[in-house]
Amino acid sequence: MSRRFEFDSIGTIHSCFKEKFGIPRQPGLVADATATLELLPPYNRPEVVKGLEGFSHLWLTFVFHAIEQGKWSPTVRPPRLGGNKRVGVFASRSTHRPNPIGLSVVELERVESDAQSVVLHLKGVDLLDGTPVLDIKPYLPYVDAIEQAEGGYASSAPGGRQPVGFSAEAERVLQQHMSDYPRLRILITELLALDPRPAYKQTSESDRIYGMRLLDFDINWRMDTGGILVTQVTKL
Ligand code: SAM
């Protein structure tokens, strides 16, 4: 008989990703994808993270809060299999699962804390802005890094990166905001190189304009001969 548990979130993610589309499918794929994790009362006290600064990486468990709750199916179609072959939900990292709980290993850049606030600065995230975090645990290389582990149908990192170019107009806007957002061009390039389009669309070229919201910008792009062209970058 299954049992019911209730948990409170211990913190909230403030991330560069303002919508789901365009977020990398796993952490660590885009180093410049940054976020902060702000601990909530009563966990916003420096002692709860005492000793954490010695760890380079953390495990975060969190809630996929931005999906339709209660909607899951016993089999799913992972993008790594081209989006057209099914595996069991528990053989996947799908967001639609019986308990919509995510698990990501992220880089801890630094810990910022004072009497009433604790903020963890993170890199390489795959987390939507506003994600509620349930727990933080240090990544322990001696136990968590298993050299001989088998990766099933995802046995290697996603291969192939799309070349990414920028229109003159997009370059102009990036240049204009360079002093406040010095790494924005790198972030866009790294994200789009992964080709965020759904797997089943990746073989076809079309004139469709795609868009995503990143930090304080709307980014538009389309497929172009030989890669991706960022057509517009708009400051909100
Ligand atoms: N690394 C985690 C795991 O394995 O549990 C997440 C993997 S899941 C495939 C990654 C995707 O989850 C991202 O590409 C993004 O679209 C989505 N996502 C991230 N944060 C989310 C949230 N708070 N609610 C719903 N979807 C989210």
Q: What is the DSSP string of the chain?
A: ----------EEEEESBSSSTT--SSTTS-TT-EEEEEEPTTS-SGGGGTTGGG-SEEEEEEE-TTS-TT---SEE--GGGTTSS-EEGGGS--S-SSS-EEEEEEEEEEEEEETTEEEEEEES----TTPEEEEEEE--HHHH--TT---GGG-SPPP----EEE-HHHHHHHHHTTTT-TTHHHHHHHHHHT--S-GGGTT----PPEEEEETTEEEEEEEETTEEEEEEEEE-
pLDDT > 90? residue 203: no
Model confidence pLDDT, tens digit, residues 90-139: 999 999 999 999 999 999 999 999 999 999 999 999 999 999 999 999 99
Residue nearest to atom 16 of ligand 1 (CA): 20
**Of 23, 80, 214, best ligand 1 pocket probe by most atoms within 8 Å of the beta carbon:** 23
Going by pLDDT thresholds of 50, 70 and 90, the confidence category of residue 34 is: very high
Do residues 88 and 94 touch, judged by C-beta distance below 8 A?
no
Residue 186, pLDDT above cutoff 90: yes
Q: How do residues 41-90 score in pLDDT, each as one tens digit?
A: 999 999 999 999 999 999 999 999 999 989 999 999 999 998 889 999 99
CB half-sphere exposure, 131, CA atoms < 13 A: 32
pTM: 0.95
Q: Pick 205 or 74 by higher pLDDT.
A: 74
Angle, vertex CA 52, rays to CA 149 and CA 141, nearest 5: 15
Q: Which of 60, 67, 95 to mutate to test the pocket of ligand 1 (most atoms within 8 A of CB)?
A: 95
